[in-house]
Amino acid sequence: MRTTVAPAPLFQRANRLLLAAALLILLGYFIIYGVYAVNLMLFPFDYDQGEGFELVDTVMFSRGEWPYQDTEIYPFYSSNYPPLFHVMAAPFVWVFGPAYWYGRLLGFLGTLVTAGAIALAVHREGQHRWIAVLSGLAFLASNTVYHIGPLFRQHMTMVMFETLAVVVLAGVNEISDTRQRRRVLALGLGLILAAGYTKQLAYTTAIAALLFLFIRQPRRAVVWGLGFGLVGVAVFLAIDQATSGQWWLQTITANINEFRPDQTVGLFRLWFGLHGFLLIPAALMVVYELYFARLSVYSLWFVMATANSILSGKWGAGDSYFATAIAAMCILSGIFASRTLNASWHFPQNYLSRWMVNPLRRFAPQMAAAGLVIIPLIYLGYGRAVLHIPTEGAVFSDIAGALNIQGNAYGGRFYDSAGRIAGGYADIGHLTTAEDIAAGWSIVERVRATDKPVLSEEAAFNLLAGKDVITNPTQLLNLANNGLYDGAALIHMIENQEFGLVIFRGQLYPVPVLIAVTTYYEQTDTVRMNGFNYMILEPRAQ
């Protein structure tokens, strides 16, 4: 039985006005996001710690080299990420050389593709054009997506492949033509494989998709699941063989990091505080499917991705681990909103509908009218909850003044409604300045001035100065924390003062390396760039 009614014209007009207001707010966030992305593409140095090592991986792939190297041998470098994102960016190196803009461009475009896939899924399932657009914009408006979307990072490309895979597979069991169904299955599972070889976290999407296929067609799911597994394992073993076991060591073993429960709890609180307006309808959609319909791949994906977000408490993890769940949330909440506005809910007769739904049917006209107002208010509430804006620059300073908000991140350069209540939250989003760029180039000139190698915690300075990039500090720390790093060769070079300079930002090297540096080098200068103090150390007089 369907709940189809015709609300009063007054409520329909209110609905259109409120939807237009929500659309304007989310479009405003999209404009801010675009300005932020362009600003980062024009910034030639690390914005977020570690971007430079993603660029080093890309450069190595462009040369036909594996970045999974022995960290005990000069230049002591290795990556801990799968290859696909860097392989995608490698052709840019052939044309433009080492640069940050194209990796940031790929990340930004990936989020736009994800938003488009979300809008497509919502429109296909809910048949409401404006809610579909709002759902895609809601993904881009998330503080988490805003922060990390335009970075030279592979995470949002993984989310893009995951979202495309789930949207492709959502209706695969309803395809009657065998050939077409096989093509869609192959495409969907291939996209999941691509997500997994972009970043390891995509395993949850693989589980959700295979579980969805198994619930609907067990035999088909087993056959295709075995094929999917064999291809994935074959690629894994081939890379491990080609890298003499470094692939397993650097991407699997070294990533078993310390878990911090308080960080997970704080990030879940933050996630709900920012996204609660859409999380509640998404959760209600899961409950509806569980009791009144069939579980969709979107519901299974949302539940699995949310559960996997517990890993955000690992050292080195953070709110980016919620990005997949945010994409699933936008789809489910969009479907919920569309059905409410279309008054197209269907409740088959069972014990729950007789107990919960049937007594409310006489109020269907009033509930439909209320839904016309409540749904756009949900998106307006979401727009208020995720408020984020740079507070510098002619336009943004004026807007911040009009809204009476002051920057609460990076010394007043950015306002983030999340504040700083949880460890692991990406406290970024501000715009870089000409002064930041000048400061970065001053460090590059210091690197160029020495005829010795330079040990730098960020790769940009060495890359732009034409010198070897020495080590990936966080990967050394990952290995050391798991008892897998000796470091004798690197420490020997430090003790012999073979580095002309050492550049610190966060002192993320293993403790023995830090002790060696502070013993044989002394700080001679500090350069302020992008909100951080870069410490310049030179050899101590012996």
Q: How far apart, in whole angstroms, are the C-alpha atoms of residue 67 and residue 71? A: 11
User: 84 is written with which tokens?
Assistant: 């696909």
pLDDT category at 401 given cuts 50, 70, 90 is confident
pLDDT by residue (tens digit) across 293-343? 899 999 999 999 999 999 999 988 899 999 999 999 999 999 999 999 998
Q: How far apart, in whole angstroms, are the C-alpha atoms of residue 366 and residue 75? A: 70
Specify the amino acid at residue 444.
V
Three-state secondary structure string covering 46-66: CCCCCHHHHHHHHHHHHCCCC
Query: Hunting for tokens 């308080």 — which residue is that?
Result: 262
User: What pLDDT is attached to residue 316?
Assistant: 83
User: 326 is written with which tokens?
Assistant: 């945010």
User: What pLDDT is attached to residue 308?
Assistant: 95
**What DSSP letter does each residue of 7-50 carry, written as one string?**
--HHHHHHHHHHHHHHHHHHHHHHHHHHHHHHHHHT--S-SSTT
- Measured in degrees and rounded to the nearest 5, phi and psi for residue 523 equal -75, 130
Contact by Cβ (8 Å): 294, 247: no
Task: Tell me which DSSP letter residue 412 carries.
Answer: T
pLDDT category at 393 given cuts 50, 70, 90 is confident
User: What pLDDT is attached to residue 41?
Assistant: 97
Task: Tell me which DSSP letter residue 343 carries.
Answer: T
User: What pLDDT is attached to residue 205?
Assistant: 97
Query: Hunting for tokens 């309808």 — which residue is that?
Result: 281
Task: Tell me which DSSP letter residue 300 carries.
Answer: H
pLDDT by residue (tens digit) across 45-81? 999 988 999 999 999 999 999 999 999 999 999 999 9
User: What pLDDT is attached to residue 392?
Assistant: 85
User: What pLDDT is attached to residue 55?
Assistant: 97
Residue 359 confidence (pLDDT) above 70: no
**What DSSP letter does each residue of 252-298 carry, written as one string?**
TGGG---B-HHHHHHHHHHHHHHHHHHHHHHHHHHHHHHHHSPPPHH
User: What pLDDT is attached to residue 3?
Assistant: 47
Residue 420 confidence (pLDDT) above 90: no
End-to-end alpha-carbon separation of the chain, Å? 87
Contact by Cβ (8 Å): 19, 130: yes
CA angle 317, 505, 502 (to 5 degrees): 130
pLDDT category at 419 given cuts 50, 70, 90 is confident
Q: How far apart, in whole angstroms, are the C-alpha atoms of residue 124 and residue 335? A: 9
Average pLDDT over residues 255-279: 93
User: What pLDDT is attached to residue 1?
Assistant: 42
User: What pLDDT is attached to residue 360?
Assistant: 65
User: Which stretches of 395-506 are assigned E, i.e. beta strand?
Assistant: 414-416, 454-456, 501-504
pLDDT category at 288 given cuts 50, 70, 90 is very high
Read off the pTM.
0.95
CA atoms within 13 A on the CB side of 73: 4
Q: How far apart, in whole angstroms, are the C-alpha atoms of residue 485 and residue 476? A: 7
User: What pLDDT is attached to residue 61?
Assistant: 98
Mean pLDDT computed over every residue of the chain? 93
Highest mean pLDDT among 346-355, 405-414, 436-445: 436-445
Percent of the chain's residues with pLDDT above 90:
82
pLDDT by residue (tens digit) across 234-246? 999 999 999 999 9
77 vs 5, more confident: 77
Q: How far apart, in whole angstroms, are the C-alpha atoms of residue 92 and residue 59? A: 9
pLDDT by residue (tens digit) across 87-146? 999 999 999 999 999 999 999 999 999 999 999 999 999 999 999 999 999 999 999 999
Residue 465 confidence (pLDDT) above 80: yes
372 vs 8, more confident: 372
Q: Which of 168, 174, 172 is nearest to 188 (CA)?
A: 168
User: What pLDDT is attached to residue 236?
Assistant: 97
Residue 411 confidence (pLDDT) above 80: no
Average pLDDT over residues 164-170: 98
